[in-house]
Chain A
Amino acid sequence: MNKKLTSRIAGGIALASAAALALAACSSSSSSGGSSSGGGSTTTLKLVVADYGTGPSNASAKYWDTIVSAFEAAHPDIKVNVTSIPWTNFDQQVQTMIQNKQYPDITEGDYFSNYAQDGLLYPASDVLSDPGNLLPAFKAQGTYNGTQYGMPFTTSSRTLFYNKKLFGAAGIKAAPQTWADVEADAAKIKKLGKVGFGLPLGSEEAQAESLLWMLGDGGGYQTAGKYTIDSPANVEAFTFLKGLVAAGDTEPDPATVDRTTLWEQFAQGTIGMINGSPALIPIIESAGVLKTSDWTSVPIAGKTGPLKVTLGVCDNVAAFRPNGHEAQIKEFLDFAYQDKYQLAFDNEYDLLPATTTAAKALATNPVFSPFLTALPDSVQYPSDTAWANEKTKIQQTIGTAVTGNPATVLSQLEQTATSAS
């Protein structure tokens, strides 16, 4: 009898709490419904960004959170959700979102003209009040069929970093200027038990490292807008690299090693030379192993002398059309492209600005000005619609050219590029 009663009470409590939960669920949904009917409906923007940070302390999500909270305070009707993705996965995750029709509103990272071709993007002029302020040097890269869709957000150029301490210990006096210098210096550093040249040909960014070597004897991915990946100059560049790898002057198996890993090892003082961007500087600083006087950066070595032009990379903002948030995107981008946020980004990651006004503000800065003056003449990646797929193929396979047959690997890549375009 007593037992029955307690079980009844327990049952009652369970029922009551279930009802309470159900009510709570109802009320929470009705309150959000109420706010939308009450005139001030909120729009949520989905912002997907690449992570430039080296750890939690300078994660890019933090940078964007600062902008977003200031923006949301000024625009109570717009909420912004930030998703940050590491570079190693960025292209693939964004592409998966798009393949699955879960479109972001704004992306910041790699941009591909395919998205413009498919009509997924707003032109820059629709979502920025002053698109003319974007650096003109990068306009071509974001342009499809005469309209600019990709909006540069941050830019960088590449230089050759070397460890002066290791150079001193190996008895090397001058900075490497030619491929022969690189080969000789790397061999000397290898004798110290360190890695002579860090060669990241793994899938993270093999397309950048490869282009830097192709430029070394006048090659590149394209000549006059046509893919020429298997040109004699490119084959020669990879034949040189193959020799470098075979001699053990690089890290073992470059085809499987990513840039992030090698940059960290350079910062730990175990690599003699490596091609890098200004983004390597904060990594060196946070590792705390190399003093400022222990390393320096110079123009990248070419076959007969340092490169006159370098690879200029810009990461782009793209505004996606399918969710129909044009007005809100414009509000946000105008806000985020303010000079103060451009400069904050550049100071945080040692990267370069992408707007003319921000570049002017940095023109007198001794660290940034040499990079900035080099930007207008820089070489850039192809911008046609074949590039997105080609880049993936290059990232996956070009590293095998330094262990296998360079001519075969490059001609296979050329074939994929030309059959697609």
Chain B
Amino acid sequence: MDAALVLEDGTAYFGDACGAPGERGGELVFNTAMTGYQEILTDPSYCGQGVVMTYPQIGNYGVNPEDDESGRCWAEMFIVRQLAARPSNYRARTSLREYLEQRGVPAIQGIDTRDLTLKLREQGALRAILSTECLDAAELAARARRHPPLEGRDLVAEVSCQEPYRWSEGLPCAFPSPELGCAAASGALPLVCYDFGIKRNILRCLVTSGFAPVVVPARFPAREALALRPAGVFLSNGPGDPAALSYAHAAVAEIAAAEVPILGICLGHQIIGHAFGGRTVKMKFGHHGANHPVIERRSGRIDITAQNHSFMVDPDSLEGTGLVVTHWNCNDGAVEGLEHVRLPVFSVQYHPEAAPGPHDSNHLFRRFRRRIEERCGAPAR
């Protein structure tokens, strides 16, 4: 045993180090997806958080060059029951252990991850320190308590791009989505994508749905965004507390006022809530997984969705904002989608781009394009 994971309440787990050496702190969340650890590790939304995988056998299929969701690993630390010694998959280029070491993510295995999960479920997300340097539980607990909480933190600054860039890659043809196919739609519409921690698969889905995305930094001024004369604006997912992003709230309000169609996902959805005067609240342990049923109020359609959020829009704060709830979580009734009564503004809390997760809601991207076309009077595709 050469690694310790200690929670702010003093609970200590000792196990085997299976990633990079060192010590990291963060808020712990559990993820119930049984596949997709590589995508999870590289999802910028996990910045500031440590991830506990509830599925016990992780690393089975190794790591490959195609499944990274961003340029680096963002999860602060990685906690698993058992890491595969050797991967088995034709796409694997390296083992997960080597990958974690190379990408500097401390990880621990051999601990009872279900016990930890139940603890997080009961007590809510907790701060923790994972260390391969210090195994003193009391000391680590004290450090965990000193670690800044997620509330009030703007982590977007850490993950957003520095400069605008264009994205042109669509979904890989080897894995066609039933909703999108794999051929990019023609007549791509210009789209400004605010990068609050954007995942690559969102961009791929957008391209395949007929958009030409320009990715811009989180603090990109609304005026400049509008000056690009986009057909629409996309607000990405991202880490941290949505309430702390007042610059983004203001930018979105300005873009919406210009009646440019907006689609928000996850953090983007929460920013829309704030932009129109709503509030977000921190959830007990959030939604992190790939099996959350979401119902669309109007159609009654249920999609099984990928989710990753610790904050949510407070439905009681929406009165007078012009926003109405379009989607609900079937499990716990959380707000999963919003729409403005008058403006072309839509958002979902879950991840229609999946990666990892089910493709059920891939159709949202195409629907966004259709809405734009209808608005512009262009023939619906």
Determine if chain A interacts with chain B: no
A residues with CB within 8 A of B: none
B residues with CB within 8 A of A: none
